[in-house]
Structure 1
Amino acid sequence: MLTKSLLAFASLAISALACTPPPGSGFAKAAPPTSLFIYNVGTGAITPSTAALVDKSPVDGGQDRTTLMTFNDPSGGTSNNCLIFFDPRDPSLTATGSRKLDLFTSNSPAPPGGSPGWGPPGNQRNNQLVRWTVAPGSVSTDATYGSLTFACNSLNNAGFEIVGVYDTDTVSYKTFGVCVAYN
């Protein structure tokens, strides 16, 4: 019960913060994910979090971490299309190493309470969508592997994962980063 209360509080805290749609995108509003989780590649643990963290290092003993995100249709069914993007304006954003992130779809979202280790559900990584280079105040798209525009109603309990690209990468943010734009 405490875990559910903490998750509800974290979800409210995340959703109260504002993302801004990319300039020239044609979208008027934006929203952060409804939940964040840290996935430990070495142990398989999935831990609910109020901040995103991607951490890869050749000296971390295989304990690389990625961020699992869950989105729901932020338009409440009133918008046809949504755009997933990275908003670099978060004042807490830090990025070291290559600063490159890959965004993947997930076959299913992280379980609401997380998971203690190996076994179901795993990270459920599916299709790669985009590679970004991020820094405080800036983001560039290095490559896209599919459309970043989705039918908003397909974002009901939709999972995504952000992953570091090279051997040494650390990217973290507390309020927003990966967001969904809509009208």
Structure 2
Amino acid sequence: MLRPFFHTITDLSADAELVRARRYGIIVVRKSQLEAIHFRPWPKMISRLEVMTIGRYVHQRSRGDYCWLYYNAPLTAPDFLSLVYVVSGKETTWRTFRTALATLDEVARLRNAAAIVTDVSNPQISERNLSRNGWEPHCAHLPGRNYIKRFYGDYPRLAAGTHRREVLAS
């Protein structure tokens, strides 16, 4: 079966096979609700220059409560996810950001990923906040602030009697 290069889903449970099959995606959350996951045929490539210039410019001028998380499942490390880039509006709430992160955790669970790795370039994101959300320092010998969230089969638990979509929307 031929799949389109770009594909969009709105229900993780119904489209779990597609989530497992596609390596590159954008999680889109608006007003604390999962809107969609858009799959891409290639990974998101990012540079520190882009983060420091275009990223900050867009964040300062964009309105709305939204968050986009770009993630990759690299060919060289298929058991890992990489949180590559986050785009948010100036009015983005903590709840919207947490919903996006919970969705990424669910993608990791569906893909049976061992961990999620990221390089945190925003100095406003504290080590304490990262630690509270399950992230720990990783690869101290590399430049930047590298973090990892390990699962190794122990994924965040859903509340009993709660559907995944409800958890992701909370």
TM superposition score category, shorter chain reference: 0.3 to 0.5
TM-score by length of structure 2 reads 0.32
RCO higher in structure (CA 8 A, sep ≥6): 1
Structure number having the greater strand percentage = 1
Structure number having the greater helix percentage = 2
TM-score by length of structure 1 reads 0.31
